Amino acid sequence: MQAARALRFSQTSNGAAPAQIMQPSSPSEIAAILRNPRPFPAPVRPMGFGSSTTRCLSAPGGTLVDLSKMDRVLRLDDSTVTVQPGIAIRELAEILEADGLELHGGFDLANRSVGGAVCAASLEAAMGGCPSQFAAHVTGLKVVSPEGNRFSAKVGDRSLLGLIRLSYGLLGIVYEISLKVRPIQTFTVQFARVGFGDFAKLASRLTFASSSTKLYLMPFKDRVFLELRRPTTEEAPGRKFAWQLKDWACYSALPTALRSLAKVVPIRRMRYPLSDTLSGATQSLVSRSFVSTGSNSLEQTGRFKNPGSKQGFSYCTWAFPAQDFGRIACAYQALCIEHYERTGFRCDMPAVVFRLNQDRSALLAPAFNEPMFTISSMTTEKDGWDDFIVDLAEFARTNNGVPFFNQTQGATSDHAINCYGRRLKVFRNTRRKLDPNDRMLNHFFSSYMA
């Protein structure tokens, strides 16, 4: 079943299947794969649950290493948990919850594997002053190098740990991860709704706010829904059912309803106003009725549906400088309206926005230089999506947008290289030393790493 899932993912995301799909259960088996190029040809690409939307995991004619069998908790104390990379964040959160503990950070896509979230960029509405990447809370990693040798990276080795975090499986395969944990902490949730013009006036106040910030953009309704979280001393963190209902409404019920609406009302100009009404009603209902308090533990264990390859919508994420995001949000609204008037296509779901605090925990962190706001454009429609991605990439290029290697389609290699600059050069040099034979370099990354 796991191998079949990996094969379907590879064929869907890349158009070509790997020659081998392996499911190691120990670091020795990983080392054997990397040391033997004849039975296990390059590119060798590690895979978690396949939630990436780019071809960063593609291994056509090569070897796909599915780590889903390595899913155990190895050690747990009051401040640290050590796990294998194949365990889901949600499953780990449930184990910690039983001991009154939780992971640091309220991360999106809690059904990702821990290894995938450590080695690729993630999204989080972080509280003020907290890092915005799941990988930032890693205290130690054990890795098999591209040549099959084992090594470790710990908090004391800041430069090495910063290289392995968000390394996208290019510096080796992580087989053991230690993460910081803490007693469950409660936060309050406040919702608000404003127009794009009013949001532009208040956006700068959100850049360094102590609260975490998550937004939903509805360009054609001129609505921005704000979800702000603040720490509280309240003991009761809320109800898990409420968080499950919220997750179901936004990421399962709404996409399903929009796909059904497309079948009943095939004419887009008639359907889109209905889609907006449905999306707006969903956001209003979530804001007023579902949650007022919560915790990282509740949110991570309250996921309703796996957002991996079976999700019912497509998305593309870019990060933009926080200091200019009020203007950028209005420009994004104008882009969506202009593209629709010109092509007849528009996204039928709200765009989701997270504030990322400045985060230097990883060399390739998108918010390494400054705080950012991400925009994840979402749609259930495929016809016209690829053209919108092209226009979105040009919009990002002219507005200092930074791509995520695992979540941004349409980014040119020149633009990505320019965004990451010297940091990418340092990473490339390290990769050449660790992987002189390009065992783990696929075609997708070769344009950035040449």
Cα separation, 318 vs 412, whole angstroms: 13
Overall average pLDDT of the 159-170 stretch = 94
Mapping DSSP to helix (H, G, I), strand (E, B) and coil, where does residue 65 land? strand
Chain centroid, CA 63 distance in Å: 24
Cα separation, 17 vs 316, whole angstroms: 24
Cα separation, 340 vs 388, whole angstroms: 9
- What is the pLDDT, as a whole number, of residue 346? 96
Q: Which has more pLDDT, 142 or 19?
A: 142
Residue 3: pLDDT over 60: no
In the CATH scheme, what is the code of domain 73-184? 3.30.465.10
**Residue 393 pLDDT grade (very low, low, confident, very high; cuts 50, 70, 90):** very high
- What is the pLDDT, as a whole number, of residue 289? 65
pLDDT, averaged across the chain? 89
Overall average pLDDT of the 207-235 stretch = 90
- The count of other CB atoms within 10 Å of the CB of residue 180 is 15
- HSE on the CB side for 16, CA within 13 Å? 12
Query: Which among 295, 306, 189 is positioned nearest to 247, based on CA atoms?
Result: 306
Tens of pLDDT, residue by residue over 107-119, are: 666 678 999 999 9
Report domain extents, the chain.
2-66, 73-184, 186-412
- What is the pLDDT, as a whole number, of residue 158? 72
Cα separation, 394 vs 262, whole angstroms: 28
- Is the domain covering 2-66 a CATH 3.40.50.300 domain? no
Most confident region among 205-209, 210-214, 251-255, 315-319 by mean pLDDT: 315-319
Residue 35: pLDDT over 60: yes
- What is the pLDDT, as a whole number, of residue 339? 98
Tens of pLDDT, residue by residue over 106-150, are: 766 667 899 999 999 988 878 888 888 999 999 999 999 999 999
Distant-in-sequence, close-in-space partners of 306: CB < 8 Å, separation ≥ 6? 49, 111
Residue 2: pLDDT over 90: no
- What is the pLDDT, as a whole number, of residue 12? 45
Q: Which has more pLDDT, 73 or 291?
A: 73
Fold of 186-412: Vanillyl-alcohol Oxidase; Chain A, domain 3 (3.40.462)
- What is the pLDDT, as a whole number, of residue 16? 67
- Amino acid present at 380: T
Tens of pLDDT, residue by residue over 312-367, are: 889 999 999 999 999 999 999 999 999 999 999 999 999 999 999 999 999 999 99
**Residue 294 pLDDT grade (very low, low, confident, very high; cuts 50, 70, 90):** confident
- What is the pLDDT, as a whole number, of residue 131? 86
397's tokens: 């290029």
Share of the chain above pLDDT 70, in %: 92
- What is the pLDDT, as a whole number, of residue 8? 47
- What is the pLDDT, as a whole number, of residue 295? 84
- What is the pLDDT, as a whole number, of residue 325? 97
Tens of pLDDT, residue by residue over 363-380, are: 999 999 999 999 999 999
395's tokens: 């919009």
- pTM (two decimals): 0.91
- What is the pLDDT, as a whole number, of residue 152? 94
Cα separation, 341 vs 68, whole angstroms: 45
Residue 44: pLDDT over 70: yes
- What is the pLDDT, as a whole number, of residue 14? 47
The answer to whether the beta carbons of residues 186 and 195 sit under 8 Å apart is: no
Residue 309: pLDDT over 50: no
Overall average pLDDT of the 293-304 stretch = 78
For tokens 């939903």, the residue is 216
Distant-in-sequence, close-in-space partners of 140: CB < 8 Å, separation ≥ 6? 82, 152, 153, 154, 155, 161, 176, 177, 178
Overall average pLDDT of the 425-439 stretch = 95
Between 198-207, 299-308, 338-347, 389-398, the lowest mean confidence (pLDDT) is in 299-308
Cα separation, 65 vs 175, whole angstroms: 12
CA distances to 166, 352, 378, 390 from 373, in Å: 19, 10, 16, 20
Q: What share of the chain is helix, strand, coil (3-state, %, to 5)?
A: 40, 20, 40
